[in-house]
């Protein structure tokens, strides 16, 4: 048992092992003050089965840990002749199952060595990029204390193509440092004639405690089970996850023999696992699956996060969002202008939440005329325009689970367009030039209309430029108005199929198009005033493109 801190817990664990009949050899880090060590040794002096081995200075990733394990193992093998398996644990390891169960388990497998051991070539486990090179470079500097020198030296050695010779017969293997080896294998490793040479080599390997026994066990073991009996999970920086009181049930159900690291103040865990005495011959194999999933999820959260979330501890740089927004949504430009009842129709046809112009100058036109939306998002234009991107991402985040659709157009406050364009979640459909329809139908003062038309055309032109940018990632479709009204149902069907809310079927009902009689004339009049409307495509002056005699009648489609 390797101990360097939390001595009261280490003492508890040592007593637990000893009470169950297992001799314990403890190694205490040389960095621990003599007084602390003395008190600890004294506290355990009443247990004859507990011995202390020669102390080494242990620093993470250095040879000291291996030397400590070697000395402790030698002492163990020498003083306790009956020992057949030696289990390497630490002071923050906690036995989860009764020791008898572990003994039975090992009795059933008397020649098996439990040591996680994989060749570096095959498994990309390591954090920090050093795998093969752990064995072929020199590491005289501490990674913890002299990170700068450590990194520079690695660089220099790479440039000089330094490559240490790996002692003959050794194939580098790596794995968890918490092993359980048989007396046969362990003594073979410790008494091998080449040991001095090997030790000299491993002294300069990086993190030898993860490779020394792992490599050498391969030479002598009769049967290797390449897994650790100690449940020990690592996070993305390679430091062990810690278990707390609230993991109690999880640990119970895992059926692992030993877990690390346990938080020293986790009283409930220590009480629960060190005092259990019920023994109902549980011969389960360890099943750490659930714990694996929880910790894998934690690592995923830390490295990838929740897509579309912007908050105090997640604010991705441009391009690193892993999803600009949280969920797919649809943007319609020109449709609400072209059809009288587009918003309610779309809501009926798709079952989505359909807003008006969210970026209208006066206010955000939330669905159903609401003044506040999910997440207490206000419709106030000032708040929205203070940070339009936040407004968009908040809206999509807050309504996760319900697809959002909204109208957009050249009349709106258009700064947000760039964020829409580069968002793969956005489905943007544009009928260009449709802004002219409300102008045409308003029938106001023509010179004012002309000025407005010019402004809108310019604004839409800029929007279309952004939509056609090579960096656009949204699904973008653009029709000219002339093109669109030739056969409006086909594009609509396409868009709605893509939204894919209900099971795919033919649209039974079409939205009602505005009466466009005289629209061609209107455009011609604009042209005559010197304002050439070009975004809507070519409209013949006479006759009107799709004269619908009575605008009240709905053009139903025939279902197939």
Closer to another protein by Cβ: residue 322 or 469 = 322
Alpha helices in 468-548 (DSSP H): 481-486, 489-499, 519-528
Tell me which residues touch another protein (CB under 8 A). Answer: 235-237, 239, 241-242, 244-246, 263, 265, 294-295, 297-299, 301-306, 309-317, 320-322, 370, 372-378, 380, 382-383, 386-387, 390-391, 394, 397-398
Q: In b/e form, how buried is each residue of 56-74, taking b as 16+ CB within 10 angstroms?
A: bebbebbbbbbbbbbbbbb
Query: Helix, strand or coil for residue 377?
Result: strand
CB of 266 to another protein, least distance (A): 8
Q: Would you say 357 and 406 are in contact if contact means Cβ atoms under 8 Å apart?
A: yes
Closer to another protein by Cβ: residue 221 or 325 = 325
CB of 273 to another protein, least distance (A): 17
CB of 235 to another protein, least distance (A): 5
Closer to another protein by Cβ: residue 310 or 342 = 310
What does the block give as tokens for 429? 């459909």
CB of 80 to another protein, least distance (A): 34
The DSSP code for 236 is: T
Closer to another protein by Cβ: residue 160 or 311 = 311
Length of the chain: 560
Give 305: exposed, middle or buried? Use CB within 10 Å, 0-12, 13-18, 19+: middle
CB of 432 to another protein, least distance (A): 32
Mention every residue, 6+ apart, whose C-beta is less than 8 A from residue 254: 96, 231, 286, 287, 288, 290, 291
Single out the residue of 203, 425, 144, 148 nearest to residue 307, CA to CA.
Answer: 425
Closer to another protein by Cβ: residue 110 or 368 = 368
CB of 102 to another protein, least distance (A): 26
CB of 538 to another protein, least distance (A): 44
Q: At what angle do helices 489-499 and 342-350 cross, to 10 degrees?
A: 50
Closer to another protein by Cβ: residue 339 or 397 = 397
CB of 145 to another protein, least distance (A): 13
CB of 125 to another protein, least distance (A): 17
Q: Would you say 422 and 321 are in contact if contact means Cβ atoms under 8 Å apart?
A: no
Closer to another protein by Cβ: residue 311 or 558 = 311
Whole-angstrom CA distances from 234 to 112, 133, 182, 260 are: 25, 21, 26, 10
The enclosing H or E element of 114 equals strand 112-114
For residues 350, 352, 353 and 358, what is the CA-based torsion angle, rounded to 10 degrees?
-70
Closer to another protein by Cβ: residue 93 or 338 = 93
The enclosing H or E element of 2 equals strand 2-3
Closer to another protein by Cβ: residue 170 or 299 = 299
């Amino acid at each position: 048992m390797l101990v360097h801190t939390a001595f009261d817990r280490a003492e508890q664990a040592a007593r637990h092992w000893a009470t169950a009949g297992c001799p314990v050899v403890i190694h205490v880090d040389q960095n621990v003050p003599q007084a602390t060590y003395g008190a600890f040794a004294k506290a355990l002096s009443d247990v004859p089965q507990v011995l202390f081995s020669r102390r080494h200075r242990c620093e993470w990733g250095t040879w000291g840990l291996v030397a400590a394990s070697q000395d402790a193992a030698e002492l163990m093998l020498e003083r306790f002749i009956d020992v057949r398996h030696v289990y390497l644990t630490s002071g923050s390891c906690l036995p989860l199952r009764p020791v008898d169960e572990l003994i039975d388990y090992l009795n059933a497998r008397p020649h098996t060595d439990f040591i996680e051991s994989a060749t570096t070539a095959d498994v990309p486990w390591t954090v920090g990029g050093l795998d093969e090179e752990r064995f072929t470079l020199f590491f005289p500097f501490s990674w913890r204390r002299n990170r700068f020198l450590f990194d520079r030296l690695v660089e220099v050695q790479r440039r000089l193509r330094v490559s240490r010779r790996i002692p003959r017969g050794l194939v580098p293997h790596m794995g968890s440092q918490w092993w359980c080896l048989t007396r046969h294998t362990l003594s073979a490793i410790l008494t091998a004639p080449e040991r001095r040479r090997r030790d000299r080599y491993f002294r300069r390997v990086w993190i030898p405690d993860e490779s020394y026994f792992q490599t050498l066990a391969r030479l002598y073991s009769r049967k290797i089970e390449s897994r650790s009996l100690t449940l020990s999970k690592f996070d993305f920086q390679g430091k062990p996850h810690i278990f707390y009181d609230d993991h109690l049930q999880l640990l119970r159900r895992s059926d692992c023999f030993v877990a690390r690291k346990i938080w020293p103040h986790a009283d409930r865990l220590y009480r629960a696992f060190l005092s259990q005495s019920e023994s109902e011959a549980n011969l389960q194999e360890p099943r750490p699956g659930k714990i694996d999933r929880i910790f894998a999820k934690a690592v995923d959260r830390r490295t990838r996060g929740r897509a579309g979330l912007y908050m105090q501890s997640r604010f991705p740089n441009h391009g690193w969002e892993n999803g600009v927004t949280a969920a797919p949504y649809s943007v319609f430009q020109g449709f609400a202008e072209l059809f009288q009842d587009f918003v309610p129709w779309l809501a009926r046809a798709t079952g989505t939440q359909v807003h008006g112009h969210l970026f209208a100058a006066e206010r955000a036109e939330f669905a159903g005329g609401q003044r506040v939306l999910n997440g207490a998002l206000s419709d106030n234009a000032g708040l929205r325009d203070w940070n339009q991107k936040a407004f968009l991402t908040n809206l999509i985040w807050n309504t996760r689970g319900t697809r959002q659709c909204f109208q957009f157009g050249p009349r709106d406050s258009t700064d947000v367009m760039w964020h829409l364009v580069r968002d793969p979640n956005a489905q943007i459909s544009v009928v260009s030039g449709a802004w002219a329809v409300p102008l045409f139908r308003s029938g106001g003062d023509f010179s004012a209309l002309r000025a407005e038309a010019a402004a809108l055309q310019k604004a839409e032109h800029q929007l279309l430029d952004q939509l056609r940018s090579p960096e656009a990632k949204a699904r973008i479709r653009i029709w000219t108005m002339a093109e669109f009204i030739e056969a409006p149902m086909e594009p609509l069907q396409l868009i709605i199929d893509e939204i894919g809310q209900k099971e795919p079927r033919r649209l039974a009902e079409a939205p009602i198009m505005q009466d466009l009689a005289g629209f061609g004339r209107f455009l011609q009049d604009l042209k005559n005033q010197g304002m050439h409307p070009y975004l809507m495509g070519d409209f013949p002056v006479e006759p009107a493109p799709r004269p619908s005699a009575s605008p009240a009648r709905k053009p139903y489609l025939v279902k197939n």
